[in-house]
Amino acid sequence: MASERLSSILSHLSPTKSGVATITTKNPDDVVITLAIRTPLAKSGKGGFKDTPLDYLVYSLLKRVLEKSRLDPQLIEDICMGNVSSAKAAYIVRAASLGAGFPVTTGGSSVNRFCSSGLKAVQDIANQISMGSIDVGLAIGAESMTEGGDRLEKPFHDEIIQNSEANDCMQPMGQTSENVGKDFNISREAQDKYAAESYQRAERAQKAGWFDEEIVPISTILKDPKTGEEKRVSITRDEGPRYGTTFESLHKIRPAFPQFGDRSTGGNSSQVTDGAAAILLMKRSKAIELNQPILAKFVGATVAGLAPRIMGIGPTIAIPKLLSKFNLNLHTDIDIIEINEAFASMAVYCLKTLQIDHAKMNVRGGAIALGHPLGATGARQIVTGLSECRRQKKKILLTSMCIGTGQGMAGLFVNEQL
């Protein structure tokens, strides 16, 4: 008891570790990422996955997880899938996992927090591991926007929408983007300049082969829209980047939501996309025991709410909340930042309001250029962000996104592949 009391007193007298020193400390109980992969991102309705149902996309990715990890599937105790559009997501993840070679003992579930669903799935699995409920788990995010979107089919009950903010939850995302543009004076010019930079970064990254280590090719069937002829193809590259995109070319595009405003367009908004991503997690001690490569440490994630009509600025609420929990400074402690570019309006707002160094944010381009498969994005950002950390030999990754109905989420990771 005396020695414990002395240690307690000394710990109070000793200078506390910095936030970075604390989160980069390696402990056996750390939750770590041992695999982070994604499919290519394809244009919904007309791209490489237009004839690929969600179940087959998930099945294909799960097979690649087993191939890449070389892990006995008996060891993976639960799979959580982030998905927005499919009411059958829980059925799909369970059936696809069994078809891919996972045993009946591996559980399956789905989560939906709109655009943060992929990150929410990672948080769910990480929390289960941290609490000792499971030892090894897999988080995935997957979306076929070809099959459907996330629009409401009917209004909420009359008593609910008597509350103005509840009523605002029904606003289309394009309207919320125009609200952000108007309320915070984010001009069409500023949005197009930002979007052009996103396209140019994605083009540079794709040409340089930076995405190659992130992506696992997916073999699927593609139908010729004119003849109906089917052929097997291998989808290997993101389809979103448009080479040669400039501010001038984007500035010619007509507004996408003229009933709400004239600043958001098809060129400065995220693309409608099909794709999936997977993150394999376990405790550090388990990864060492299983001889699995430790890519990164999961530090934490949090969610924050705000007015639904300006949902796009959610990262400016979630990021400070998350960083305060770990005593971190956005400008001096964070190396790489991935903020989902739902719309250029919110991306420009977040960049300016948080005073982010743009050189650190969305280095390979973001959803404007790459696409935004709703349930997959939260996981895809981790895959891309960790890959960029490895390329630059940087340590601390921050991811964040806005969320429909007025929320923001953020996640924090330490790259250990320096």
Given 80, 350, 389, 402, the catalytic residue: 402
Respond yes or no: is residue 372 known to be catalytic. yes
- Residue 297 β-bridge partners: 32, 414
What is the CB-side half-sphere exposure of residue 286 using CA atoms within 13 A?
20
Q: Are the CB atoms for 406 and 119 separated by under 8 Å?
A: no
For 185, the token pair is 């004076």
Respond yes or no: is residue 80 known to be catalytic. no
Given 115, 157, 169, 331, the catalytic residue: 115
Given 80, 350, 372, 389, the catalytic residue: 372
Respond yes or no: is residue 350 known to be catalytic. no
Which of the residues are catalytic? Answer: 115, 372, 402
